[in-house]
Amino acid sequence: MAVKNYYTVLGVNQTDSEDSIKKAYRKLAKKYHPDSNPGDKAAETKMQEIAEAWETLGNEKKRAQYDGELSGSAKQKAFTAGPVKTPSSGRPMTQEDFFNMTRNFNDSLSPEAIKNSVNRKKASGKGPIDTTDFFEKVMGFKI
């Protein structure tokens, strides 16, 4: 699950100072406060988001912890099933390994690649259903 970006909610950058974040919070809180927008549900929802963002970013310890979660959300939480081992080396797969596997998979499924693969299989005497070459190319190792 992706971490909500409180910096975007407040319209500031992650590198901005505490004072800049406080000013942005106050400006948005004044604009979306329920007293300024009576009966406006959209403003009420926006104010709740702003308050949630400020609760985290306005506290130095919470902000440091949040920054760690935010920077790690894309890298560490992409594959949560546990460590996957590469068949040839036994080492855990890296993001680069997954990228290469995806690139190989996409290259193998292009119309040109499929057409060439079918023509090669017909010429070699293999049936069109044999997926050995496809699997080896996608996975990056021979069976």
Closest CA to 15 of 53, 52, 57, 48: 57
Q: Residue 30 is encoded by which pair of tokens?
A: 């004044």
**Confidence check: pLDDT of 123 > 70:** no
pLDDT of residue 133: 72
Tell me the residue range of the domain where 48 lies: 6-76
Both 64 and 91 in a single domain? Answer: no
Listed residues 51, 76, 101: the one ending a domain: 76
pLDDT tens for each residue of 11-56: 999 888 999 999 999 999 999 988 888 888 888 899 999 999 999 9
pLDDT of residue 11: 92
Mean pLDDT of 138-142: 72
pLDDT of residue 2: 63
- The verdict on pTM exceeding 0.75 is no
Both 65 and 27 in a single domain? Answer: yes
The Cα 6–Cα 127 span in angstroms is: 55
Both 19 and 71 in a single domain? Answer: yes
pLDDT tens for each residue of 66-109: 888 887 754 444 444 455 555 566 677 677 777 777 777 777 77
Q: Confirm whether 1 is domain-assigned.
A: no
Helix (H) or strand (E) holding 134: helix 132-139
* CATH for 55: 1.10.287.110
Q: Residue 49 is encoded by which pair of tokens?
A: 């988001």
pLDDT of residue 136: 76
Q: What values do phi and psi take at 92, rounded to 5?
A: -65, 145
